[in-house]
Amino acid sequence: MMHRFVFPAWVDRAFPFTIAFVVGTAAYVTGMVAWGLSPSTIDVGYQPKQPVPFSHALHAGKLKMDCRYCHNTVEKAARAAIPATATCVKCHAGADGNGAVTTVSVHSQSPKLLPVRESAATGKSVLWTKVHDLPDYAYFNHSAHVTRGVSCVSCHGRVDKMEEVVQVAPLSMSWCLDCHRNPTPHLRPPEKVTALDWTPEESPSVLGARIKDQLHIESKTNCSTCHR
Ligand code: HEC
Ligand code: HEC
Ligand code: HEC
Ligand code: HEC
Ligand code: HEC
């Protein structure tokens, strides 16, 4: 009897997994780098056109509406919700077929608000374009920041002065880490996070050190904080 050497059966079974792993890893790394370098992620100054020329300078600045009136999940969830049409319609309901306005309505015939009125009539959301967009492999969480006293202004700038939202921070890994290594100067009382023009009466580092103690804030730099 002649015995030929044969690989044990598990090698055969494992082979497809090995290939899948190698190919998968290569694709994953390529994807990460490509996505990480794509303009929508790291382009400071990215300012896409929106279907409605919605002005934060008017609504959040002049009319002094709190960010949470519209972005109402920002303290509770990872994502800051973009308001539904119903939120706009509270103030911008259209006129009925006879041109009569039944509720209090600002600019009920404005052509700029046509997509809002269409959305209210059809139930289809207004198609806002995302301004900030991290790659999916990086995990971000709004509530983890705003409930620990990191203001919107630290990451989004003076949105209350913007006619159109523009990305002011690179959202790169080194940008995240710069603050995570030393968050102290960026901390303020959590109830002030949406007051973008707020300035402390004492030095920001003294205030920050106190808040850091009170809220037990740590410097989080483990890879698994943001890649999970
Ligand atoms: C009246 C409702 C309203 C208020 C108040 C409001 N926003 Fe917005 N916000 C919107 C809408 C609608 C969009 C989507 C269109 C756009 O990007 O302009 C948006 C978009 C944004 C974006 C960009 C989101 C993205 O796509 O990346 C940021 C950042 C933002 N808001 C921050 C704020 C901050 C900070 C405040 C408080 C100073 C605030 N907003 C107050 C309605 C509002
Ligand atoms: C520590 C930095 C940081 C702070 C503080 C912060 N944001 Fe953001 N924001 C981001 C990042 C990063 C994104 C992109 C998230 C993504 O693509 O997954 C984002 C996205 C958004 C979006 C788009 C929807 C979403 O969640 O992707 C809105 C709206 C927004 N932020 C509003 C706010 C408001 C309002 C505040 C303050 C109450 C705030 N942000 C505070 C970093 C921050
Ligand atoms: C609390 C009331 C209120 C809410 C809610 C509100 N707005 Fe307004 N908006 C106003 C007021 C008041 C003005 C007009 C200010 C002026 O003309 O001086 C205005 C003006 C506008 C204009 C300019 C219209 C024109 O023809 O000049 C647009 C566009 C607009 N809003 C979009 C929106 C969108 C989109 C939403 C929802 C995300 C929204 N608004 C939510 C009160 C509101
Ligand atoms: C301006 C300062 C600042 C910036 C910029 C910042 N962070 Fe943070 N981050 C913090 C602080 C402060 C905490 C709270 C730490 C704690 O709870 O001990 C935090 C917490 C987090 C948490 C929750 C950690 C946990 O274990 O609960 C995640 C996830 C996170 N950050 C991701 C990011 C990412 C991703 C970016 C960049 C896109 C970023 N952060 C940018 C200050 C910042
Ligand atoms: C505070 C959050 C945070 C921490 C901690 C963090 N990363 Fe990242 N990382 C990010 C973000 C955000 C991006 C996306 C950057 C971009 O889009 O340019 C990223 C991108 C990457 C990329 C893609 C290539 C690149 O540079 O764009 C790799 C690889 C990576 N991280 C590895 C790590 C490793 C390894 C660790 C631990 C030593 C780590 N990260 C810790 C937030 C973080």
Please give the Cα distance from 157 to 39 (Å, whole number). 19
Sign of CA dihedral 207, 210, 216, 221: positive
- Ligand 3 centroid, distance to 98 Cα (angstroms): 23
User: Please, how many CA atoms are within 13 Å of residue 177, restricted to the half-sphere of its CB?
Assistant: 9
Smallest-distance ligand from the CA of 140: 4
User: Over 90: is that where the pLDDT of 30 sits?
Assistant: no
pLDDT at position 94 is 81
Residue 160: both structure tokens together: 């209350």
Please give the Cα distance from 184 to 97 (Å, whole number). 57
Residue carrying the six token digits 């890879």? 223
pLDDT at position 40 is 46
Residue 28 banded pLDDT, cuts 50, 70, 90: low
Residue 113: both structure tokens together: 């608000």
CA nearest ligand 3 atom 18, residue: 58
Question: Between residues 35 and 195, which one has the greater pLDDT?
Answer: 195
User: Over 70: is that where the pLDDT of 38 sits?
Assistant: no
pLDDT at position 200 is 92
CA nearest ligand 5 atom 28, residue: 32
pLDDT tens per residue across span 163-207: 999 999 999 999 999 999 999 999 999 999 999 999 999 999 999
Closest-CA residue to 182 (of 137, 227, 220, 156): 220
Please give the Cα distance from 120 to 204 (Å, whole number). 45
Residue carrying the six token digits 């929508």? 40
User: Pocket of ligand 2, candidates 44, 59, 68, 155: which has the most ligand atoms within 8 Å of its Cβ, to mutate?
Assistant: 155
Residue carrying the six token digits 């780098």? 33
- Ligand 1 centroid, distance to 22 Cα (angstroms): 42
- Ligand 1 centroid, distance to 209 Cα (angstroms): 30
- Ligand 3 centroid, distance to 156 Cα (angstroms): 21
Closest-CA residue to 56 (of 41, 70, 44, 45): 70
Residue 39 banded pLDDT, cuts 50, 70, 90: very low
CA nearest ligand 1 atom 15, residue: 128
What share of the chain in percent tops pLDDT 70? 81
Residue 96 banded pLDDT, cuts 50, 70, 90: confident
Question: Between residues 129 and 8, which one has the greater pLDDT?
Answer: 129
Q: Which atom of ligand 1 is nearest to the CA of 155?
A: 29
User: Pocket of ligand 2, candidates 38, 128, 142: which has the most ligand atoms within 8 Å of its Cβ, to mutate?
Assistant: 142
pLDDT tens per residue across span 43-54: 799 999 999 999
Q: In Å, what is the CA distance from 178 to each residue of 154, 175, 198?
A: 12, 5, 22
- Ligand 4 centroid, distance to 141 Cα (angstroms): 8
> Is residue 152 in contact with ligand 1, taking CB distance under 6 Å?
yes
- Contact yes or no for 176/46 (Cβ under 8 A): no
Smallest-distance ligand from the CA of 186: 4
Q: Give the amino acid at 58.
A: L
Please give the Cα distance from 109 to 100 (Å, whole number). 11
Closest-CA residue to 159 (of 79, 34, 55): 55
Question: Between residues 20 and 135, which one has the greater pLDDT?
Answer: 135
Residue carrying the six token digits 């202004």? 153
